[in-house]
Amino acid sequence: MSQKAASTVLKVMLIWLLGLFGILVFRNVLPGIDFINQDIESGFFVGGFLGGMFICLVTILVLVVNREPKEQNNAKKSYAAVGMILAVFGLFMMSLSACYDPIMVKVFGSSIQTENWYTWVKSFLITDVFCLLVVMAVASMSEKTPIEKHKMTVGQFICAIFMNAGIIGIGAIIGAIVEFSIAFNFGIAGGGQTISDMLIESNDFWRILTVGIGAPIVEELIFRKFLIDRVHKYGEGIAIFVSGFLFGLFHGNFSQFFFATGVGLFFAFIYVRTGRVWYSILLHMVVNMSTSVISINLIEMMDLEKMEEYMVMDLASSEATQMALELLPSMLLFLGWVLFLVICTIVGWILWIVKRKKLFLKKSEEYVEKKKFCTAFCNFGMIIFLILCVVRFMSFYI
């Protein structure tokens, strides 16, 4: 198979996988279409995903083996390569996720889904292992330009942690307002509660491994290193914007979109200035450990069932007083943690004001003066990835 033919086959298979996701999403909107549910039950969709992924893997292997070393000497080709990396990552991740449950239930029975490790192993194997390896293969086919390396001092890194907290605080508030507006005006509630329930009911080991460690490594490699290495020479500003915006968009919901975009822009800036992806990985780990590990553990310590029981009790009774005393230590601990996060957010805002003049961009020799957004987004890979993100948003809210 020639290089050109393999590239065409890969594009067709990505469109095929995206089409299957579109059908899965729209079956929730149009439940009266019987043939869709019948095809899902008969395994047509699982077979479609696996078949499409297998052909994708074969064509990627052909492209890697037969790749011709040629420089991508214009910005549009480089952004197209970045778009293809992201499209492959997103579609392979969602394809494996769609196939995981039917296959595991078929092989081990439906009881396997009640195991505490079930969802977390799914996330770790699919995103942190398989998809990363596939993305590395795709990324190896495109030219990259190394970034000049610089070190951050301990003081700079600590400042970055607080500045990051400031971004998350503002982004979380905006996201909450948008989510409330959607629910109030359209009566649409997203799947955020499902995510929270999964985190609260999970095992600490798997939560730390996947959310605290695995996700930051994979996401920073893909949305920072693999992306920015290939396009920063055409303009640091647009490279940082694409990295942060697509990172936020890929989260697939408005609750996370704003703060994820904000921290994505900040992580991208740090990577562009230092050339060391480990800084953004460590900062990302701090964020995920704080929100999805420490905060969740403190919520679990409060015993939510007891709190619900306390709310309906006669507060003047001795039983209510006794229960309040039992709940007080964990509640104070959680409120103390919330207060600490608020202080970190305020300190972060102050640091942004004080250090704003130290944030600068460099203009490279190959800087694109005009139509930067068209150059970055008007190509096959980016268009597929953007459509995929729209599908993720629809599946979250429909």
Q: Using CA atoms, how far apart are residues 211 and 275, in angstroms rounded to an integer? A: 24
What is the C-alpha to C-alpha distance for residues 104 and 39, in angstroms, rounded to an integer? Answer: 18
The band of 295, judged by pLDDT with boundaries at 50, 70 and 90, is confident
Distance from C-alpha of 384 to C-alpha of 379, rounded to nearest angstrom: 9
Shared domain for 151 and 278, answered yes or no, is: yes
Q: Which of 294, 372, 350, 389 is nearest to 87 (CA)?
A: 389
Task: Please tell me whether residues 357 and 379 are part of one structural domain.
Answer: no
Residue 241 is predicted with a pLDDT of 96
Taking Cα atoms as reference points, which of 132, 95, 79, 77 lies closest to residue 14? 95
Burial class (CB in 10 A: 0-12, 13-18, 19+), 121: middle
Confidence at residue 82, expressed as pLDDT on a 0 to 100 scale:
93
- Please report, for residues 111, 156, 270, the alpha-carbon distance to residue 236 in angstroms, rounded to integers and kept in the order given: 50, 21, 11
Is residue 173 located within the same domain as residue 60? no
- Kindly state whether residues 205 and 135 are assigned to the same domain: no
Instruction: Output the pLDDT for position 31.
Output: 57
Q: Among residues 91, 150, 96, 160, which one has the least CA distance to residue 380?
A: 91
pLDDT value, residue 167: 95
The mean per-residue pLDDT over the stretch 378-385 comes to: 92
Residue that the structure tokens 């507006």 belong to: 181
> By percentage, how much of the chain surpasses pLDDT 70?
87
d(CA 90, CA 215): 14
Same domain, 7 and 119: yes
Specify the 3-state DSSP secondary structure of 71: coil
Token pair for 24: 């899965």
Q: Report the 3 state secondary structure along 159-199.
A: HHHHHHHHHHHHHHHHHHHHHHHHHHHHCCCCCHHHHHHHH
User: What is the extent of the structural domain holding 219?
Assistant: 147-365
pLDDT band at 104 (very low <50, low <70, confident <90, very high): confident
Q: Let me know whether 290 and 360 are in one domain.
A: yes
Give the C-alpha separation, 267 to 243, whole Å: 9
- State residue 304's pLDDT score: 66
**Maximum Cα interatomic distance, the chain, rounded to a whole number of Å:** 80
User: Percent of the chain, pLDDT > 90?
Assistant: 42
The total number of structural domains that make up the chain: 2
- Residue 143 phi/psi, 5-degree rounding, is -75, 145
Query: pLDDT digit string (tens) for 243-255?
Result: 999 999 999 899 8
**Distance of alpha carbon 27 from alpha carbon 129, whole angstroms:** 30
- Say yes or no: 235 and 353 in one domain: yes
**In this structure, are 359 and 374 located in the same domain?**
no
Query: Is the model's pLDDT at 321 over the cut of 90?
Result: no
What length does the chain have? 398
pLDDT at residue 296 is higher than 90: no
Angle between helices 154-186 and 277-288 (to 10 degrees): 50
The alpha carbon of 299 is separated from its chain's Cα centroid by a whole number of angstroms, namely 23
Amino acid at 279: Y
Q: 373 and 324, same structural domain?
A: no
Q: Is the pLDDT of residue 84 over 60?
A: yes
Q: How far apart are CA 37 and CA 25, in angstroms?
A: 12
Type of residue numbered 91: L
Kindly report the average pLDDT of the chain as a whole number: 85
**198 with 291, same domain?**
yes
Residue pair 186/308 in contact by the 8 Å Cβ criterion: no
pLDDT > 60? residue 275: yes
Nearest to 260 by CA among 319, 209, 220: 220
How many Å apart are CA 304 and CA 310, to the nearest integer?
10
Task: Tell whether 160 and 100 lie within a shared domain.
Answer: no
Q: Note whether 197 and 90 are same-domain residues.
A: no
Question: In sequence order, which residues have a C-beta less than 8 Å from that of residue 214 and are 6 or more positions away?
Answer: 123, 124, 127, 128
pLDDT band at 366 (very low <50, low <70, confident <90, very high): confident
pLDDT band at 210 (very low <50, low <70, confident <90, very high): confident
**Residue 219: what pLDDT?**
94
First to last CA, the chain: 41
Phi, psi (rounded to 5 degrees) for 368: -90, 115
Q: Tens digit of pLDDT for each residue in 48-67?
A: 999 999 999 999 988 888 77
